[in-house]
Amino acid sequence: MKFRAKIVDAACLNHFTRVSTMIAKLAKTCTLRISPEKLNFVLSDRVASGGVSMWCELEQENFFSEFQMEGISAENNAIYLDLTAENLSRALKTAQNARALKIKLTNKHFPCLTVSIELLSVSSSSRVVTHDIPVKVIPRKLWKDLQEPTIPDSDVSIYLPVLKTMKSIVEKMKNISNHLIMEANLSGELNLKIETELVCITTHFKDLGNPPPASEDASQERPPEQMAEVHVDIRKLLQFLAGQQVNPTRAVCRQLKGSHTFHRGAGRLSARPPWSGAQDGPGAHLTGTENYLVSNKIVHFDLLHEDVSLQYFIPALS
């Protein structure tokens, strides 16, 4: 297992730093998936327990001038690492005036991602900053839980307003209630609503536009004025919005019909959301585990920051 990459362009470095800072705001620890073409930051398999999930993808050739990796084997040419996102963000932030930045997978009494930065210096000698970020290598048998999500049908999908505006509104609403209702329809209208005994506050966004429907049937069924509503924990939404420092190139919000199969085995409750890579056949359901099929909504945010895509899933409150 080997990985080595280098960034020499200042703009690429800044962009990569911004991505890592965003990830650090969205997740404490996450999985970094390294494959020959892409880098992914993944937070997965949490939706069942009410947590959020995330899939962030970037094409390595848009950032790195050199990129070499070798996965576990030729058939499984990928590396999955668990790391503390803030470490990577902090390391990259020290590369403000860097001539070059190198990242390598190393083993210094424990596996590390070593970030080595050569700084520009007024004097003739170079200055080098090295960060050893401890990582945990994820064994291949756990990879199936960390695959790209497949997006099921959505009731409604809508373009989002300027995220900073949305964030400042949601921030104020948080002081009043933790329970936020998001309503959207196919006429480009989005409402953010909180209701308490004493007061009900709604913010209306209009003329947002809707992305073209995935299939013809879906759009014809639904009256454009009809609102689809989903209830979410306001803090989760706020954490997501706070992570977006720059307004994305494109931002879409979908309300997904989620269906989860809960497997209870060995006292551990885990959910397999729709995006599991491994499609277990019926056989798996009969191996002595109890299964509950639960239909629950998920709010799906699909953002594009220049050339970095971010998908973020917030489960609805039941």
Could you list the residues that contact other proteins (CB under 8 A)? 1-4, 66, 68, 70, 72, 84, 87, 90-91, 94, 99-100, 104-112, 114, 118, 121, 123-134, 137, 139, 141
Q: Decide: 305 and 56 in contact? Cβ < 8 Å.
A: no
**Integer Cα distance of 80 and 66 in angstroms:** 20
* Cα distance between residue 183 and residue 173, in whole Å: 15
CB 208 within 8 A of CB 159: yes
Q: Which long-range contacts (CB under 8 A, 24 or more apart) does 68-77 make?
A: 68/2, 68/3, 68/4, 68/5, 69/2, 69/3, 69/4, 69/5, 69/34, 69/35, 69/36, 70/1, 70/2, 70/3, 71/1, 71/34, 71/35, 72/1, 72/140, 76/140, 76/143, 77/35, 77/36
Report, in Å, the least distance between residue 271 CB and other proteins: 18
Minimal distance, residue 138 CB to other proteins, in Å: 10
Question: Least distance (Å) from other proteins to the CB of residue 279?
Answer: 23
Burial profile 101-135: b = 16 or more Cβ within 10 angstroms, e = fewer:
bbbebbeeeebbbbbbbbbeeeeeeeeeeebbbeb
Nearer to other proteins, 98 or 230 (CB): 98
CB of 310 to other proteins, least distance (A): 24
Choice between 139 and 283, CB closer to other proteins: 139
| Choice between 82 and 229, CB closer to other proteins | 82
Nearer to other proteins, 110 or 292 (CB): 110
Return the CA Rg of the chain.
21
Nearer to other proteins, 38 or 104 (CB): 104
Nearest distance in Å: CB 299, other proteins: 32
Tell me whether residue 91 is exposed, middle or buried, using C-beta atoms within 10 angstroms of its C-beta: 0 to 12, 13 to 18, 19 or more.
Answer: buried
Cβ proximity to other proteins: between 126 and 259 the closer is 126
Nearer to other proteins, 127 or 179 (CB): 127
Smallest gap from residue 126 Cβ to other proteins (A): 5
**Rounded-to-integer distance, Cα 45 and Cα 22, Å:** 20
Residue among 266 and 286 whose Cβ is closer to other proteins: 266
Q: Is 12 exposed, middle or buried (0-12, 13-18, 19+ CB in 10 A)?
A: middle
Shortest Å distance, C-beta 55 to other proteins: 25
Distance of closest approach, residue 130 Cβ to other proteins, in angstroms: 4
